[in-house]
Amino acid sequence: MSQDAANQNPVKLDFVRQIVADDCKSGKWDGRVVTRFPPEPNGYLHIGHAKSVCLNFGIASEFGGKCHLRFDDTNPEKEEQEYVDSIIEDVKWLGWDWGENLFFGSDYFQQMYDWAVDLIKKGKAYVCDLTAEQTREYRGGVEGGKDSPYRSRSVEENLELFEKMKNGDFPDGAKTLRAKIDMAHPNFNMRDPVMYRIVHATHHRTGDNWCVYPMYDWAHGLEDSIENITHSICTLEFENHRPLYDWFLDALEVYHPQQIEFARLNLTYTVMSKRKLLKLVQDKLVAGWDDPRMPSLSGMRRRGFSPEAIRNFCRTISVNKFNSTVDFALLEHCLRQDLNKTSPRVMAVLNPLKVVIENYPEGQIEQLEAVNNPEDSSAGTRQVPFSREIYIERDDFMEEAPKKFFRLTPGREVRLRYAYFVTCTDVVKDSDGNITELRCTYDPATKGGDAPDGRKVKSTLHWVCAENALDAQVRLYEHLFTKENPDDVEEGKDFTDYINPNSLTTLTGCKIEPSLRNAAPLSRWQFERLGYFCVDTDSKDGNLVFNRTATLRDEWAKIKNAQKK
RNA sequence: UGGGGAAUAGUGUAACGGUAGCACGAGUGGCUCUGAACCACUUAGUCAAGGUUCGAAUCCUUGUUCCCCAGCCA
């Protein structure tokens, strides 16, 4: 029974959960629910994988079942331990727990081999000497293929040859083991698919033990069967492979899970294929797999995404059988929803403009109380220093204020958050006319931010005390691509031609309030009025580095934009 | 020209023969010591055409459009 249903808070079930729920009701699997997340360790996990992870682990937890983490490591030429490690880290970070159920397809190589021998004995598999190119020719097109000349070898000969293949008696590509199905089948996957190929390569786990490696179609169903999976959930492109998945398991007469296919995730302004992400990394178009602009989970973690936000996002987009592209804004919404509740507030100035408060005593520093998180009273308060010289955001001052600009301008009174009302009295400029400093006066009666006479101000600014400010580097990010769909390329171009030149802006000399002096790497903060920021892993003592995870929603930016037009 | 899938507001998703709803986005207003958050309102949809039915997004027929498949990758 689904937890949500048990809580009498029935959520609408997606089609996969509906199947699982129906099966639980009918007792199809004796009430068991066993799913698996089966990544190939040939790349880092990305937000698209998170959809699958959350589906599989989510179903297991909601229906009182379990979910295995299984590495589908059947191709030694592409797979590496580095990827195994990163995948484990990422799934764990997302908050899922596979308990004892960490498996590797390669652990089943012997069982798979034995089953292949069974199939040969049943006359349902044969050793084929056709080259890769010949195999393709024989497979044929829509009109059908033709039988391999090796199709009718005797069981004895097949057994002997297959053993020799295993023992390494033949060079790479010399022979394959194929299932004997139907070369005229309208589904190409059923035209005597290859089960084993000869590869003399060192596997990251089994070393040089094997010279033959199983193909996906052969291996995957067997892995599922061995692990007693009930619902084998995979992406849409495997729909064509389901008849073969079923054929192998039926031919072997072994435990037979149900394969269910769903549509993979697409997101605007990003690419999601491992191949393309790898190219971005290898061509150094980004700083690595964990570059905060990458949709990889390691990148998003470094950017400041919370696991909670990603999990909510995956639940929100649901799952279906048709291709769709989710608006990046929805991801951002889920992000902000979580960070708003959980991020401590802090004041930071990205583009500092010095302000001297002329009637404030020189040399005086007072501590003012600031709320850490208005969404969470248990987060308490902290003291923020204030003095005669402070920094405010350059964008918060305009000498000639347009309509609807409520912030500081000569002669106007505004509030410095948690501090005082101040009025701008003078603008200091250099010889080129650039504003270098503002002169203000303050009203001592407004300490804390409220006027005893009840007068109001239109706007509240964040600020940082000049004397105590911490210097920091802040990295601002925008979409990695300028195009909503970077895969939709014009003639002669490729997706890398649409990389956004402004995807990364590095700001130095940013001013941060002193409470962040020892902020831990990957800790998440809201810089008031600016956005959510995360301490980068490059950050070191005395050399703070922040990533902007996301901006706050910004009404003024919209107005400004509209006024420009 | 073969096979396998799929079509619901701009986007993502519900409705399982009985009032087409929710979220995001966009817009308007309210509130505010974050132009945030929060609150209210507005916007906009069943791929098409037939049929069955008292009643169709849902069932049937025909058509249209889109996605996947001819690796010894997964």
Q: Which nucleotide is nearest to A136 (CA to C1')?
A: B70
Instruction: Answer positive or negative: Cα dihedral of A113, A117, A118, A120.
Output: positive
The closest alpha carbon to A332, from A354, A310, A356, belongs to A310
Report the C-alpha gap between A487 and A324 in whole angstroms: 14
Q: Dihedral sign, CA of A86, A91, A92, A95? A: positive
Catalytic-labelled residue, pool A264, A293, A407, A415: A264
Can you tell me the distance from the alpha carbon of A364 to that of A65, in angstroms, rounded to the nearest whole number? 63
pLDDT of residue A490: 85
pLDDT for A2 = 37
CA pair distance A290, A296, nearest whole angstrom: 7
| Average model confidence (pLDDT) across chain A | 96
Residue A6's pLDDT band (cuts 50, 70, 90): very low
Query: What was the pLDDT predicted at A7?
Result: 37
Which tens digit of pLDDT belongs to each residue from A493-544?
Answer: 999 999 999 999 999 999 999 999 999 999 999 999 999 999 999 999 889 9
Which nucleotide is closest to the Cα of A130 by its C1'?
B72
Cα separation of A233 and A38, whole Å?
9
Q: What percent of chain A has pLDDT over 70?
A: 98
* Contact between the CB of A154 and strand B at under 7 Å: no
Task: Note the pLDDT of residue A12.
Answer: 83
For A512, the enclosing helix (H) or strand (E) is strand A504-512
Q: Give catalytic status of residue A394 as yes or no.
A: no
Average pLDDT over residues A207-215: 98
Tokens of A44: 């880092």
Give yes or no: A274 in active site: yes
pLDDT tens per residue across span A111-161:
999 999 999 999 999 999 999 999 999 999 999 999 999 999 999 999 999
The confidence score (pLDDT) of residue A441 equals 98
Q: Of the listed A51, A166, A274, A302, which one is catalytic? A: A274
Place of tokens 């919209």: A558
Kindly state the average pLDDT of the residues A234-243.
Answer: 97
pLDDT beyond 50 at A439: yes
DSSP reduced 3-state for A240: helix
Q: A106: closest CA among A73, A133, A128?
A: A73
Query: Where are the strands (E) in A394-432, listed by range?
Result: 413-416, 421-429
Q: How far is the CA of A29 from the C1' of B55 (A)?
A: 39
The reply to whether the CB atom of residue A208 sits less than 7 A from any atom in nucleic acid chain B is no
In this predicted structure, what is the pLDDT of residue A562? 87
Which tens digit of pLDDT belongs to each residue from A410-419?
A: 999 999 999 9
Q: Which band of pLDDT confidence, cut at 50, 70 and 90, is reported for residue A79? A: very high
Closest by CA position to A309, among listed A277, A342, A283: A342
Tokens of A386: 């204030």
Task: Please pick, among A40, A80, A163, A484, the residue that the annotation labels catalytic.
Answer: A40
* ipTM entry: 0.97
By C-alpha to C1' distance, B72 is nearest to A197
Question: pLDDT tens across A154-201, in order?
Answer: 999 999 999 999 999 999 999 999 999 999 999 999 999 999 999 999
- Strand B contact at CB of residue A197, distance < 7 A: yes
Largest CA distance in chain A: 102
The per-residue pLDDT for range A264-279, each reduced to its tens digit, is 999 999 999 999 999 9
| HEC readout, A463-480 | EEECCCCEEEEEEEECCC
Q: Could you tell me if A379 and A341 are in contact, meaning their C-beta atoms sit under 8 angstroms apart?
A: no
Task: Quote the DSSP letter at residue A43.
Answer: S
Whole-number pLDDT of residue A11: 66
Averaged over A300-329, what is the pLDDT? Answer: 97
pLDDT band with cut points at 50, 70 and 90 for residue A381 = very high
Evaluate if the CB of A215 falls below 7 Å from strand B.
yes
Mean per-residue pLDDT, A99-113: 98
| pLDDT of residue A476 exceeding 60 | yes
Please state the separation of Cα A353 from the chain's center in Å. 36
Does residue A31 have a pLDDT over 90? yes
pLDDT value, residue A4: 38
Query: How many angstroms separate the CA atoms of A565 and A554, rounded?
Result: 18
In this complex, the answer to whether residue A377 has its CB under 7 A from any atom of chain B, a nucleic strand, is no
3-state helix/strand/coil string of A98-167: CCCCEEEHHHHHHHHHHHHHHHHHCCCEEEECCCHHHHHHHHCECCECCCCCCCCCCHHHHHHHHHHHHH
The reply to whether the CB atom of residue A78 sits less than 7 A from any atom in nucleic acid chain B is yes
CB A316 within 7 Å, strand B: yes
Q: Which two tokens stand for residue A352?
A: 């500092």
Are the CB atoms for A208 and A202 separated by under 8 Å?
Answer: yes
β-pairing verdict for A389-393 and A381-387: unpaired
